[in-house]
Amino acid sequence: MMKGFASGNSQNKGVTLVTLIIAITIFGVLVTVFSYVIIAKHGSEPLYVQSTQAYAIAQAGIEYGIRYAADNGYWAAGSPGITESFGNGSFTLVYTAATETDPSLLTSTGTVGVAERQIILHHFVGWVEGQAITTDPNDPAYATT
């Protein structure tokens, strides 16, 4: 019985060809999927870079806001936000005054290209009035133009 199978003289003569075609098809599908994943990953790289840059710009906005408030001695509640260009993008600062239930907030939104990242600093007045930072009196004041 096994002798016929080993010599190729059985009814299963086309099984090897069918198996080979299936294996080549599966291999082709895997190569195609892998190449699409690589292309998609490569295409998303600029968004990742822009998102990282937007986060760094939002951090710079927080530093700018603390220094701006320290130099001017105040930040008017309800005043329009400050928008400044910085590097490849810009940041927008919005101050929200403290209420009985919520602390004062400084919201910095960094934008680069299509990426946008936001940082919220709670108890913002405490950072400025409590002198959490020390500024060099010889440095020029930050001012919006």
pLDDT tier, 71 (very low <50, low <70, confident <90, very high otherwise): confident
Specify if 138 maps to a domain: no
Residue 24's domain comprises 13-43
Residue 66 confidence (pLDDT) above 50 = yes
pLDDT at 145: 46
What is the per-residue pLDDT for 90? 93
What residues contact 20, with CB distance under 8 A and at least 6 apart?
A: none
Query: Is residue 75 a part of any domain in this protein?
Result: yes
Interior CA angle at 13 toward 8 and 18, to 5°?
A: 135
For residue 30, pLDDT over 50 is answered with yes
pLDDT of residue 75: 66
Same domain, 88 and 62: yes
Q: What is the pLDDT of residue 99?
A: 77
123: domain CATH number is 3.30.1300
In this structure, the answer to whether residues 53 and 32 fall within a common structural domain is: no
Q: Is residue 1 part of a domain?
A: no
Q: What local confidence, expressed as pLDDT, does residue 53 receive?
A: 92
Q: State the pLDDT at residue 58.
A: 93
Long-range own/partner contacts, residues 132-136 (CB < 8 A, 24 or more apart) = 132/66, 133/66, 133/67, 133/70, 135/67, 135/70, 135/71
The answer on 88 and 38 residing in a single domain is no
Same domain, 37 and 77: no
Across the range 109-116, mean pLDDT stands at: 92
Mean pLDDT on 18-36: 91
122, part of any domain: yes
Phi/psi for 110 (5° steps) reads -95, 135
Whole-model pTM over 0.85: no
Give the type of residue at 82.
I
Instruction: Looking at the structure, tell me whether residues 57 and 106 fall in a common domain.
Output: yes
Task: Of 4-18, 107-121, 129-143, give the lowest mean pLDDT range.
Answer: 129-143
Decide if 88 is inside a domain.
Answer: yes
Q: Which two tokens stand for residue 88?
A: 């490849």
pLDDT at 25 > cutoff 80: yes
- Provide the number of structural domains found in the chain: 2
